[in-house]
Chain A
Amino acid sequence: MRSHTGSLALFVLLALAPRFAGAQPLPTKIDFNRDVRPILSNNCFQCHGPDEKTRKAKLRLDTPDGAATAIVAGKPDQSELVTRLTATPDDESVMPPAKTGKKLTAREVEIMKQWVKEGATFSAHWSYVKPQRPEVPKAAFPSTNPIDAFVFARLEAEKLKPSPEADRYALARRVALDLTGLPPTPEEVERFVNDKGADAYETFVDKLLAKPAFGEHWARMWLDLARYADSAGYADDPQRTIWKYRDYVIESFNANKPFDRFTIEQLAGDLLPNATTEQLVATAFHRNTMTNSEGGTSDEEFRNVAVVDRVNTTFLVWRRTSIACAQCHTHQYDPLTQKEYFQAFAFFNNTADADRPDESPTLPFWTDALIAKKTELEKQIAELEGALKGKKPEEMKPERDKLALLKKDLAAVKPLTTVPVMKELTGAQRRKTRLQFRGNFLDLGDEVAEGTPAAFHAFPKDAPRNRLEFARWLVSAENPLTARVIANRFWEQVFGTGIVRTSEEFGIQGELPSHPELLDWLATEFVAQKWDVKKFLKTLVMSSTYRQSAKVTPELVERDPENRLLARGPRVRLTAEMVRDQALFAAGLLSPKMLGPSVRPHQPNLGVNAAFGGSIDWQTSAGEDRYRRGVYTQWRRSNPYPSMSTFDAPNRDTCVVRRARTNTPLQALVTMNDPVYVEASQALARRLIEKGGKTTAEKAAFAFRACLVRAPSEAEVSRLVKLYDDAKARFAKDAAKATQFATNPLGPLPKGVDAADAAAWTVVANVIMNLDEMLMKR
């Protein structure tokens, strides 16, 4: 174990260090994946890689056979590869050629020499090899589960120590935000803090996992991947009714649907035997592609664009491999040919949808009352038609009029809602898939059949080649990538950074994992737990690693600014939805109403129309709908909800694997000035006036705890009290301003509440809601 940890430490050191780190010593033993492949991939594969068309001098360096012509194993001096790499810059034979602007560093050249000397062995790219359950190292520090054993072994090797456990208030807020997207209520916190039982934390976690808010929070991540939006995209961006899919995702997370089932339902629910309504709704996953209704566009062209998006999204979500390059040409780094791209394309090329403005085929939803009404009308129509049978057109005029009326009524009975779904074409309707040169749908090559890339694990021989079997192939136990990819994604959401940081790219150009064995342990654990999402997330948040304090020393910031080594707890900015939900929650405004059509909270009028489309302004929803969680906000692609967009919410034109976490002045303007946040401050001010206690200090502390969960320090209370006093003194002199600031937009103050008092508390509440601590996990 010792020696193993040693090499692991070195591995990580390299993974963490920037590519061009200066005087790094050479590794004692060359590892192809760690040391050599990145050099080849960055410098050589473009001309000497998998792509036959761009390959120069018929030399390929991505396979042992190919490289054999340029390498004499064990003999760098006789290897053309080394000769070329070490040629002087003015030598025409130098590689990479000067015009590419690429050049190996001295260290990289040494690595290549050493590699050849050691026998020039290749090994498969790490993520393409099935994960083996690694042995759990002996934990170097007190720990809770194997996660800690892996993390702490690394820390020990790095001569670092884990941080102590965070205090219970910090922990309560952190884990509640991570699991439900909302802070805990003060009562929940107190119960947890005062729980003396050994399993206090676990009890708290279990309660969070059981909350309906869990599904609403985790759906957000999935909806980014599914590019879920309430509009169809492109120039006119008309509204699209597809919220049943959003509800499917929320309910699936809440029901703790095993991830493999979740996958299969979404990719091929329609092909399951006796598919249920739920399974059909699930297939809207791939109906979230954009539909182009701009005049003069070709439906077939944009149907192809949608299928391309389905292929790319599928590979990004489940395999984290950007296959997209291979649409137009054979991949230059990863072993993916253009033919293989269109073989994958073929799986998705036979659904009935075809870039139509009506989004057909759709699945209608009927209520019992509507069905009864419909059945009754149909019955009456059938009776009348029966009576009219054989009669001449001029006979029975009144009955005929009645029939026409009934038919009109029947046509007016519309379903409650609809959702676009996947429907497989059959028989003569089925399309043939042909290779598209340069990705152009009019420039076609040979016909291709459904298939999966050869570099990945094999598609079962006898299985029919259809979407359903493709989905099963993705989540089969043989698949080396999916479990790793999904485990890494969940890890990234909870810890802030993935074990593989480039969570969108597990292919050859992606970064190496910081804790490779931990990743494999998590992947195998997830499969062993039968893809149980809640259980998996619980494993993450139960770890001591997760429970560490986020406090950090300048030395550690210097040493590990991004917390890749995990010597402290995670502290990253909340997502756009969390920022909004948290403010409404603290204010007591957040509506608990779940599911249903998307809502329109307040947004400023922009006075702008989408091109060829309607106004992008909207009428604010009435009643509690304006205070729903961010996940229910109507998502218009051409104009995503501006305050969330400022906090890095994407427009969801296409699959988003990872959101940025920026820190900008425009965000400050949102949380200080957006009427939604001003209203939340006003509401919190009224709450604290009513329930916050007697003294100014008590009230300040109440507001503080409502927002930040913990009790404020004395210094913090006195600073807030001073702010209150100063603001109150100003507002006392200007009653009109005080009333404005305390009531616009929330509405008139309750009886007996002084406007200057409420306005001053609104200032205090607004300040707390804008604190760094409020916007960050702690």
Chain B
Amino acid sequence: MHPAFERLQATTRRNFLGTSSVGLGGLALSSLLGDARAEGPSPDKPLAPRKPHFAGTAKRVIYLHMSGAPPHLDLLDYKPALQKHDGKNCPDEYLKGKRFAFTSGVPKLLGTRQPFKQHGKSGIWMSDAIKPLHEVADDVTVIRSMKTDEFNHAPAELLLYTGFARQGRPSFGAWTCYGLGSESENLPGFVVLISNGVQPSGGQGCWGSGFLPSVFQGVQCRSKGEPVLYLSDPPGLDRDTRRLGLDAMKDLNELQEKELGHPETRTRISQYELAFRMQLSASEVMDISKEPQKVLDSYGAKPGAGSFANNCLLARRLVEQGVRYVQLFDWGWDFHGTGPNEDIRDGLTKKGTTTAQSVAALIKDLKNRDLLKDTLVIWGGEFGRTPFREGRTAGGQILGRDHYPDVFSLMLCGGGIKAGHTHGESDELGFKVAKDLVHVHDLQATLMHCLGFDHTKLTFRFQGRDYRLTDVHGKVVKEILA
């Protein structure tokens, strides 16, 4: 047996992977045999950085999720024909055999009310609802041919993040940390930030570790209050007194280790030391008050707020500290038209402009710090929205769209993605992918590829089967790679 694997076997399986049968051992072994990397997770450092299958173009990920699904036809996918046929009955061919969440009968086509123009040297189409993003048009790739299988929020989000529309599988962030570990010793490898006070529909499953060890699950941090649960010492206990306690704990644990001889005790000691350091570093990284006013203003961030702007700035601060994967969820993108905030006219302009400012600031900030080149930034929702008016609100004054899985748009940049590029097309009225279909599994395969993984080989055996993020699908979209 390879000595390094023997060590892994002795340490990781028992302490770190609990009782899972093959676990990381499989991954570690393949890499031990495949390349010369000898570094692997140890019980002291379960998130120790590891090399991927091949040199990737991205080292870390910031995923900006617009919970509820943005109306792509009013933001990124310009359909003049739809404007021309606005108000007409939706042709039967697009409705036959289809199920929609809130629409039955024959709905009316709905052209966008947002002005569209081409931006940057690359001429990417964007609407005025996301004006601040016009400035970074030459940094991003827009995919206009995304497709998913689900038209309800929770299943669609789970499919997007775990490769499967039901609960129970590891999320993309968990797979990323499982594969790569984390560069940060004092912070979680996978951080989740939620704005506007509402969890995504897919719930914690969107950042869960599924059957992977729970060290790989996302840790929810907050820009308001205690940044990580139970991070602060209890009231009245200062750092020095805490240190006294930890020293005693270490001495007593060492006595016990000597007595029983269990290596787990050593692990326990190191986890407590890590927790002690994390208390400091997590508080520091989550405190944006020391950022220059100019930076705060560029994002639209305000210390103490629970806003998307704050979370974008935090995402940059976290990846700077070596956090591997930062996942943002911003609530309020379910544009049904059931209220003024969900109107694809003013409601969207308001939501779009505020958030686009923070996204644009993040992209520019990463670029200025030379981080964009190896940071994948993804912006998008869980599906698209219909080219017609939503059924329930069709009689009202507010214009809204229903859920739509067959085609939608997504934007990504950095980390080896082409700058200033548009990929794929929807058909004339925006009902189907007309060119270069990218299924969410293909997106996953592509992101994995950027991180240096063959998505078919980053697997984990559970219940007798080797599972992977892309289930049994997925092909890398080479055309969007720089």
Residues on A facing B (Cβ under 8 Å):
18-22, 101, 233-235, 237, 292, 294-298, 305, 322, 324-325, 333, 496-498, 501-502, 504-505, 507-511, 550-554, 557-558, 561-562, 571, 573, 604-612, 616, 637-640, 642-643, 646, 648, 651, 653-654, 658-670, 672-675, 678, 713, 715-716, 719-720, 722-723, 726-727, 730-731, 736-742, 744, 759, 763, 766-767, 770-773, 775-776, 778
Contacts and interface: CB of A to CB of B under 8 A. Distances in A.
A612 B229 CA distance: 24
Contact of A607 (B152, B197, B231): B197
B205 A669 contact: no
Given A673-B232, A727-B244, 8 more contacts: A18-B29, A234-B203, A509-B463, A608-B199, A609-B198, A666-B188, A741-B236, A744-B234
B16 A610 contact: no
A101 B271 contact: no
Nearest to B240: A730
Given A509-B465, A719-B248, A611 B199 contact: yes
Contacts of A573: 264
A297 B99 CA distance: 10
B275 A662 contact: no
Nearest to B233: A673
Contacts of B461: 509
B248 A720 contact: yes
Contact of A235 (B21, B154, B238): B154
B144 interface: no
A508 to B, nearest CB: 7
B235 interface: yes
A305 B198 contact: no
B80 to A, nearest CB: 29
Nearest to A497: B19
Contacts, number: 284
Contact of A608 (B188, B197, B253, B274): B197
Contact of B99 (A22, A298, A730): A298
Given A653-B167, A663-B268, A665-B278, A648 B256 contact: no
B280 interface: no
Contacts of A550: 260, 262
A429 B366 CA distance: 61
Contacts of B244: 723, 726-727, 730, 763
A636 B191 CA distance: 22
Contact of B213 (A662, A722, A731): A662
Nearest to B272: A668
30 contacts: A234-B203, A292-B152, A296-B151, A505-B463, A552-B261, A553-B261, A557-B261, A561-B14, A611-B154, A611-B200, A616-B199, A638-B199, A640-B204, A651-B167, A661-B19, A662-B18, A665-B272, A666-B188, A666-B275, A668-B272, A669-B230, A669-B279, A673-B230, A673-B234, A719-B255, A722-B248, A723-B244, A738-B236, A763-B241, A767-B249
A501 B464 CA distance: 12
B298 interface: no
Nearest to A667: B271
Interface residues of B, number: 103
Interface in B24-74: 25, 29, 43, 46, 67
Interface centre among B46, B261, B464 (most CB of A within 10 A): B464
Nearest to A322: B463
B449 interface: no
Given A611-B201, A763-B244, A654 B219 contact: no
Nearest to A607: B197
A528 to B, nearest CB: 29
Interface string B202-238: 1111001000011100011010111011111111111
B262 A571 contact: yes
Given A558-B10, A609-B197, A669-B230, A744 B274 contact: no
B252 A771 contact: yes
B261 A551 contact: yes
Contact of A322 (B208, B255, B456, B464): B464
Contacts of B403: 296
A740 B222 contact: no
A701 B220 CA distance: 39
Given A658-B19, A663-B268, A235 B203 contact: yes
Contacts of A648: 18, 214
Given A571-B262, A767-B248, A604 B226 contact: yes
Contacts of A713: 255
Contacts of A19: 22
Contact of B15 (A22, A508, A639, A663): A663
Q: Which 6 pairs, one residue from A and one from B, show the smallest C-beta to C-beta distance?
A: A509-B464, A296-B101, A740-B236, A741-B236, A235-B201, A668-B275
A160 B136 CA distance: 68
Contact of B214 (A510, A607, A662): A662
A662 B16 contact: yes
B255 to A, nearest CB: 6
Interface in B402-448: 403
Interface centre among A101, A235, A736, A759 (most CB of B within 10 A): A235
B321 interface: no
Contacts of B224: 607
A460 B5 CA distance: 50
A550 B261 CA distance: 9
B154 to A, nearest CB: 4
Contacts of B134: none
B284 to A, nearest CB: 16
Nearest to B188: A666
Contacts of B43: 663
Contact of B261 (A18, A324, A554): A554
Contacts of B268: 663, 772, 775
Nearest to A559: B10
Nearest to A555: B261
Interface in B1-22: 1-2, 5, 9-11, 13-22
Interface centre among A101, A233, A561, A672 (most CB of B within 10 A): A672
Interface centre among A292, A554, A667, A742 (most CB of B within 10 A): A667
A125 B166 CA distance: 31
A101 to B, nearest CB: 7
Given A296-B102, A609-B198, A653-B167, A767 B10 contact: no
B267 interface: yes
A642 B229 contact: yes
A297 B101 contact: yes
A342 B220 CA distance: 40
A773 B265 CA distance: 8
Contacts of A554: 261
B479 interface: no
B219 A666 contact: yes
Interface centre among B197, B238, B241, B257 (most CB of A within 10 A): B241
B243 to A, nearest CB: 10
A235 B237 CA distance: 39
Contacts of B385: none
A658 B462 CA distance: 11
Contacts of A767: 245, 248-249, 252
A659 B20 CA distance: 10
Contact of A101 (B167, B202, B457): B457
A569 B403 CA distance: 57
A350 B379 CA distance: 44
A21 B236 CA distance: 55
B370 interface: no
A611 B196 CA distance: 11
A445 B374 CA distance: 49
A723 B230 contact: no
A95 B378 CA distance: 40
A716 B252 contact: yes
Contact of A611 (B10, B67, B208, B228): B67
Given A18-B9, A298-B99, A658-B19, A763 B237 contact: yes
B184 to A, nearest CB: 12
Contacts of A738: 236
Contact of A508 (B167, B253, B464): B464
